Amino acid sequence: MWSPCSAQSICFPLRRWPSQVSSVRPKLWVRYSEVKFLRRFAASFHREVEQAGLRTTDGTFGIIATGALDQQLFNAIIGSIPEGTWEFVCHPGYNDPDLRQVTTRLRSSRDAERNVLCSPESIQRITDRGIELINYADL
């Protein structure tokens, strides 16, 4: 596992999306702005989590790409993760009869996200970056 990040990068580390990604996806700019606004609360949230004795990651990646994750976005995200313990937010799944009964805008993207996450290219990028996949029990 990587060592923890500095306090400046706690929660929602924001880096500019590569122009070839963001120029064709205006909705990502809206989500980026929302996440940038929420970043104001990151330091106080982290202090409260610490004071409560809870364990959590250093922050999250993938929120901006919710519902739009594809291989290009995944590669951009994986390429920008700093040292630390980070949560990758995504919603992979199968668009099956059970899911079709749930009201969510993310229904159609679940198959796409699962395919991206399980692709040989994604697995290779994770391996090349030396990223160790863990779950919350490992914190």
Segment 5-29 shows an average pLDDT of 51
What is the pLDDT confidence band of residue 44, given thresholds at 50, 70 and 90?
A: very high
Number of residues written out for the chain: 139
Contacts 24+ apart (CB under 8 A), 125-131: 125/74, 125/75, 125/78, 125/79, 126/78, 129/78, 129/79, 129/81, 131/78, 131/81
Quote the pLDDT of residue 24: 58
Question: What are the angstrom distances between the C-alpha of 100 and each of 66, 67, 104?
Answer: 18, 16, 9
Structure-block tokens of residue 16: 């500019």
- Say if residue 59's pLDDT is above 70: yes
Would you state the structure tokens that stand for residue 50, as one six-digit string? Answer: 């610490």
Q: Give me 75's structure tokens.
A: 């590669």
Tens-place pLDDT, residues 66-106: 888 999 999 989 998 999 999 999 999 888 888 888 888 88
Q: Which of 3-7, 20-24, 32-36 has the weakest average pLDDT?
A: 3-7
Would the pLDDT of 19 be above 90? no
Does 37 have pLDDT greater than 80? yes
Residue type, 65: A
How confident is the model over 101-132, as pLDDT tens digits? 888 888 888 999 999 999 999 999 999 999 99
pLDDT score recorded for residue 63: 86
- 48 contact partners, CB below 8 Å, separation of at least 6: none
